[in-house]
């Protein structure tokens, strides 16, 4: 590098830290190339609540709502170890819970991802159906 080029590089203003978000499709698992580019900060999401927190086997499918901080259009809900199609609206995240895939009682982890940053974990419970209850002929 010439002295003139070195001087110009040293005199150039340094780039300000770049803010999140990265873009990702809500219909595909979220990916962010690692390592992150220099000066990029990704805010860590934080869950304050999930609604509902439980459901009974045999109930209809429903929507899970997640409230908290540092949620963006590219944030992804991870439910039971799977990144789920996630919608961001009114500062909340949501995803569907397909009850056709749950056949027994269970408790699963729920957390939010902003690229490589993960939130605290909340728990969602699938309660056993009463013995007299069956789902539409199943």
State the residue for tokens 């590098």: 1
Is residue 85, in this structure, part of any structural domain at all? yes
Is residue 2, in this structure, part of any structural domain at all? no
Is residue 79, in this structure, part of any structural domain at all? yes
Is residue 1, in this structure, part of any structural domain at all? no
pLDDT confidence tier of residue 125, bands split at 50, 70 and 90: very high
User: Which has the closest alpha carbon to 27: 62, 70, 74, 71?
Assistant: 74
Range of the domain at 68: 13-22+30-127
Angle at 45 between CA 41 and CA 50, to 5 degrees: 170
Number of domains in the chain: 1
Question: Any bridge partners for residue 83, and if so which?
Answer: 78
Percent of the chain with pLDDT over 90: 58
Is residue 135, in this structure, part of any structural domain at all? no
- CATH number of domain containing 115: 2.60.40.10
Residue 113 corresponds to which tokens in the numbers above? 């991802």
Does the pLDDT at position 17 exceed 70?
no
Question: Any bridge partners for residue 19, and if so which?
Answer: 41
Q: Work out the widest C-alpha separation in the chain, in whole angstroms.
A: 84
Is residue 6, in this structure, part of any structural domain at all? no
Looking at residue 32, what is its pLDDT?
52
Could you read off the pLDDT of 67-124 as tens digits, one per residue?
Answer: 999 999 999 999 999 999 999 999 999 999 999 998 889 999 999 999 889 999 999 9
**Overall pTM surpassing 0.75 (yes/no):** no
What whole-number distance in Å separates Cα of residue 124 and Cα of residue 87?
19
């Amino acid at each position: 590098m010439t002295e003139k080029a070195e001087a110009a590089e040293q005199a150039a203003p340094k780039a300000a830290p770049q803010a999140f978000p990265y873009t990702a499709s809500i219909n595909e698992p979220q990916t962010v190339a690692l390592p992150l580019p220099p000066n990029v900060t990704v805010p860590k999401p934080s869950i304050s609540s999930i609604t509902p927190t439980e459901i009974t086997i045999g109930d209809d499918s429903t929507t899970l709502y997640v409230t908290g901080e540092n949620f963006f259009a590219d944030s992804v809900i991870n439910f039971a170890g799977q990144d789920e199609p996630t919608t961001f609206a009114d500062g909340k995240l949501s995803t569907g819970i397909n009850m056709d895939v749950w056949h027994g009682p269970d408790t699963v982890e729920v957390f939010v991802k902003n690229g490589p940053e993960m939130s605290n974990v909340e728990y969602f419970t699938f309660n056993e159906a009463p013995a007299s209850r069956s789902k539409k002929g199943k």
